[in-house]
Structure 1
């Protein structure tokens, strides 16, 4: 029974009490909400009203999710920071109204059935960070065509199967940092034509296919820092006409002749980039590839010339050759950079194969290294978990400079919170905590 003092507090908050409420939980309407966080529940509490739109069960000790625990009226479901080890495949079947599902920080979940999320046609945000996942089954994201935010960071993923994300045609943010990925294949990211941000830092990536990014025409932010990259061809990056922010620091770059195409690409690129520190050959150790001169590659054969692209890079009039209409345009005021579509032919790897046994292990990195020390950089900081953009005090999303492709700003879902800063809420704080999650 809710105490009279708490009842009065809820009334002051303008909340209408719902008397059909699980024990130790707080329920209210408009929208219908059940708040059961931080009560050491070992299982989903009984008595959750069938008309509940928002259900908050975070910071408990729940072990299993089974069919019938929730109703198909649910719109927002938070079950992060529990002890979930098993989710019955049919738990969320028929949940056509569900928009946000947060299963993050369930470190012993480890595996999911292929059809766990099938039918969630309205799902906008799916949180699976820090779940101990070592692999993703085929078609696990099938049919999630409205998904915009997918959080897979800080798992144990070593490999992504081809076409894992092919159905996510509206995905804008994909967070894969803090895993153990070691290669990116030609079709790893196929279908992600709306993707705006791709975070791959703190993995063990040593191999990137020549066409790994071929569908990411709207990508503005790519983080590849703190991996095991020795080389990366500029052709790989030429497939990203909308790129604005690139982070390549803290990789063991070899600044020999194989780095020439990347060096040339960096000279043409008008966006924000990190340092690219050389670790080989001996006479290049400690130097920044970006700061090298043509004379530093004296015995290197020139890369395949692209005279039209080079001419357009230096075109200060800002006009575009109509014959190059198939390329993407990237640039700043007074400068135009035309990126040509990749030439057809045999797909080739644009990184140098390495012995996987000599990887970085856990790839631990200090926070100071995660963000490029670029004083002019206006890119958002995702090192705190990558849950949302920076916002100003009035709640508006910070706008990025040099937009290459006009598009509507995508705001994070209303229920998103920082993964590393979620605090346990007490009942006396329930009014403020549940006012607008």
Structure 2
């Protein structure tokens, strides 16, 4: 029984040893990546993959603590690039000269025990805000020799263990006063060989700071640098000699050899506006922005004359302006102020050029403001019209419209008289009847059924007298009027029946009578057209209009007062009609 237990124990010991040895040798194989060499170095599991032409970090064992990717063309680091391949135990990361142009803000996310990162000699011109977020154990960050131009506010997240920040050889021109505020344990900062002309003292209010390297920058020894220079020389943070490059009066001088009172800034003046518009009798205010160290004196000139020597009623007021601790504004806090002037009663005599002049031992500056008044304009007051005036306007307008309407009506009437024939009271059916009874063409063929002459020949089978000429001539038409005086028999019953013919209105002139009272009433009786004589067609019993009936049933008109026994002779024979056929023409 004891032998079995001992054999089982040995079996598990051998299995465990074999697995442990195999696991221990896995990271040494570097995942069989030919360009990487894995070994122990300074007690750390190190993977050296330098100059391996790698485009991205290799997938190595998660046991790797130090990864050297120096001189590989990585170009960019996306989000979570190292945590995604399981390299969560990295403590040191060398990315020097890897041609990096961009880094995601979370590229190093989840590398919680990362201590050192080297990003020197790359092409980084911008660092994302809060880079190294999640890397609270960082102690060293190297950003040397990158084309960085500025450090923005909160450039770095809280890194309580960061001791050293190297920014030498970059192109830094400005450093925001709050860019380093989360690095409370920072002891060393290297800013050599940048493009810095001045620094703010508040930027480096770091309690653990011990060393600053500032040489190789084009320092401008004026009022903007004076406060920081005085603090730096007293702090003993550096031992190197710093030289002034600007202004020209201080070029080549060492910081310690330039007196503070000589580090001045010439006055600078800006007007609040170029043109001020004012109203006569009212107050108006305007001002100028003044900067300079030492504090310049400010005065106002009106048309070149000092207003203190003038009788202009005005008030002057100076207000200090707080400059935020922002490197985008390179003015010294407390050195900027507004100088305002208020004219209490504007008149035409104060319109013109107002000049703000600032003077100090460092120089003089001016700004001009033009005060203009509105042009005077003459206006005529207008009163609202009363009701009588309003009614007069309304009736006047209506009268004008009526006159225009009358003129238009007269013009249209005259135009109609000129262009429209007087006899236009015929309807279409009447026109056809008149045309059929008057207009005859005897030169048409028998096939033209539209001709009245041909219609008559066809319907009544009349023969054409070849001896008669074929011209269409008509004899004069005469109307014989006769009848009993004062008696007008009613028209026949046929005329009371609706017929498809229209009325034909004719004008009859009766001559040879001297008594107007004996003229017949042609509108209350019946009337017919007499038959016409034709020279081109054979004279039928009736013409092509058919028989016509008068009130007495004959083809003559009954004239009141006429005698039936002794009719007066007439040049036109009286026409008598045979029994009328059923067709009638109503006039």
Q: Are 2:61 and 1:98 aligned?
A: no
Query: Aligned with 1:139: secondary structure?
Result: coil
Structure 2 CA distance for partners of 1:346 and 1:287, relative to 1, 3 Å? closer
C-alpha deviations, 1:5-55, integer Å up to 9, x for none? xxxxxxxxxxxxxxxxxxxxxxxxxx98xxxxxxxxxxxxxxxx7643654
TM-aligned CA deviation for residue 85 of structure 1: 2.3
TM-aligned CA deviation for residue 350 of structure 1: 6.9
Whole-angstrom CA distance in 1 between matches of 2:242 and 2:329: 15
TM-aligned CA deviation for residue 294 of structure 1: 2.2
Structure 2 CA distance for partners of 1:53 and 1:230, relative to 1, 3 Å? farther
Whole-angstrom CA distance in 2 between matches of 1:56 and 1:227: 43
Which of structures 1 and 2 has the bigger CA Rg?
Answer: 2
Counterpart selection for 1:177 from 128, 144, 149: 144
Q: Are 2:252 and 1:252 aligned?
A: no
Whole-angstrom CA distance in 1 between matches of 2:145 and 2:329: 21
Contact 2:93 2:117 in 1 (8 A): yes
Whole-angstrom CA distance in 1 between matches of 2:169 and 2:29: 31
Structure 2 CA distance for partners of 1:235 and 1:124, relative to 1, 3 Å? same
Contact 2:90 2:113 in 1 (8 A): yes
Report 1:14-413 matches (<5 A). Answer: 51-52=24-25, 55=28, 62=35, 75-87=45-57, 91=59, 95=62, 97-106=63-72, 108-118=73-83, 120-238=87-205, 240-297=206-263, 301=293, 348-349=326-327, 352=330
Q: Which moved more, 1:112-121 or 1:200-209?
A: 112-121
Q: Which moved more, 1:121-130 or 1:262-271?
A: 262-271
TM-aligned CA deviation for residue 298 of structure 1: 5.6
Q: Larger relative contact order (C-alpha < 8 A, sep ≥ 6)? A: 1
Where in structure 1 do 4 or more consecutive aligned residues deviate above 6 Å? none
Query: CA-atom RMSD, angstroms?
Result: 3.5
Contact 2:135 2:159 in 1 (8 A): yes
Unpaired segments of 5 or more residues in structure 1? 1-30, 33-48, 64-68, 304-344, 354-437
Whole-angstrom CA distance in 1 between matches of 2:264 and 2:198: 19
User: Number of aligned pairs?
Assistant: 253
Structure 2 CA distance for partners of 1:222 and 1:350, relative to 1, 3 Å? farther
C-alpha deviations, 1:77-109, integer Å up to 9, x for none? 111122112447xx35x82x3311111121x22
Query: Aligned with 1:264: secondary structure?
Result: helix
Structure 2 CA distance for partners of 1:110 and 1:190, relative to 1, 3 Å? same
Structure 2 CA distance for partners of 1:237 and 1:132, relative to 1, 3 Å? same
Structure 2 CA distance for partners of 1:113 and 1:55, relative to 1, 3 Å? farther
Which structure shows the bigger proportion of residues in strand conformation?
Answer: 2
Unpaired segments of 5 or more residues in structure 2? 1-19, 39-43, 266-291, 296-322, 332-587
Query: Aligned with 1:77: secondary structure?
Result: strand
